[in-house]
Amino acid sequence: MDVVIVAESPTPDEPTRDIYFEVKKRGLGVRYVPLQRLSVKIYNGATVVETRRGPLSASVVVIRGLGYVIDSNVLMRRISTLRILEQSGAVAINPVDALVNCRNKLETIYTLSKHGIPVPPTVVTEDLYYGYMAAKEMGKVVLKPIQGSRGFGAMLFEDPEQAFQVMRTLLIARNPLYIQKYVEKPNRDIRIIVIDGRAIGCMYRVSSGWKTNIAQGAVGVACTLTPELEELAVKATDAMGLVYSGVDIGEGREGYAVFEVNASPDWRGFKQATGINPAVHLAEYIQRVVKK
Ligand SMILES: Nc1ncnc2c1ncn2[C@@H]1O[C@H](COP(=O)(O)OP(=O)(O)O)[C@@H](O)[C@H]1O
Ligand SMILES: [Mg+2]
């Protein structure tokens, strides 16, 4: 098989189907496998990753996420399984370590900051008093799940005492605290899709609330890609070690701030807003990798 696409869902979602069909259109062999069906067998010094149908061999494995509601045991197994596949010679898109680092919002913000990319002031801790003091100092703060997406679970506080009560509750439930200064921004942010070192398009995500995820009701509107935005998005994608990404950028009073870099971006809103199907560009890239 040339290309295997994996994700958690038993049936592929729309971006995954887009990739599947664009890859197939180019005459490559392609198969979708849910992560739950990937097993590892270690016998007599040999290791294989296989499904019920037998060993899986692929030039490229496209990983559309590691799963949503999973605990650390399942996450650990999936990461190892995909790493073994990667080490057996399959080119992982995106690379497994990059996917893991993007899933982790602490690792993401640290890596971006280290590469000189502007990010909001952020504190990550398990110390309630430390978190409380940070919330007091920052004023308006956002609390986010350290692993999260689509805006789910992100909360905004203007009152540090309310933040304190929620932080206390989060800690009791064994959640670390991810506390970020609120970036005063217009009723939108910027989403840029980067593929193979190039920004393929750009949209505003316009929203009535402070969260601008499409999943939270925001609407995508195509916008102009400036050289500055393109450079920022490509730099953020490279910093995270990704081949393709969706970069979220806030327009703060003091300039741009990168909120996060998505390693398996949903692009339904982007396709609608811009008329660009990222899968076309990604499939071209995959084709070049397979042909190498
Ligand atoms: N520090 C912040 N200041 C202002 N808005 C924010 C901040 N962090 C997140 N947001 C808003 O919430 C959205 C979701 O946050 P993000 O960090 O991208 O997490 P998710 O993985 O849930 O998409 C962002 O697109 C942005 O609109
Ligand atoms: Mg986001």
Percent of the chain residues topping a pLDDT of 90: 96
User: Dihedrals φ, ψ of 97, to 5°?
Assistant: -60, -35
Same domain flag for 92 and 42: yes
Hey, whose CA ends up nearest to atom 25 of ligand 1? 212
Using one digit for the tens of pLDDT, what is the confidence trace for 154-178?
A: 999 999 999 999 999 999 999 999 9
- Do 75 and 146 have their domain in common? no
Parent domain of 168: 122-181
192 and 171 belong to one structural domain: no
Give the integer Cα–Cα distance in Å for 268 and 277: 9
Rounded mean pLDDT, 27-54: 96
* Ligand 1 atom nearest residue 185's Cα: 4
Contact between 60 and 289 (Cβ < 8 Å): yes
> Tokens representing 62?
């496209």
Q: Which residues line ligand 1 (CB under 6 A)?
A: 120, 142, 144, 148-151, 154, 180, 182-183, 185, 189, 210-213, 248, 250, 259-260
- Residue ending a domain, among 137, 163, 181, is 181
Ligand 1, residue 207: give the atom nearest the CA: 27
Atom 7, ligand 1: which residue's CA is nearest?
182
What is the band of 68 on the pLDDT scale with cuts at 50, 70, 90? confident
What separation in Å is there between the alpha carbon of 148 and the centre of ligand 2?
Answer: 9
Rounded distance, CA 60 to CA 20, Å?
Answer: 12
Name the domain count of the chain. Answer: 3
Q: What is the CATH number of the domain that holds 190?
A: 3.30.470.20
Please check whether residue 28 lies inside any domain of the structure: yes
d(CA 236, CA 117): 7
| C-alpha 126 – ligand 1 centre gap (Å) | 21
Looking at the domain assignment, is residue 43 inside a domain?
yes
Residue 129 CA, ligand 1 centroid: distance in Å: 24
Same domain, 266 and 202: yes
Q: Ligand 2 being an ion, which residues bring their Cβ within 5 A of it? A: 248, 260
214-254: pLDDT as tens digits? 999 999 999 999 999 999 999 999 999 999 999 999 999 99
Q: Is residue 112 part of a domain?
A: no
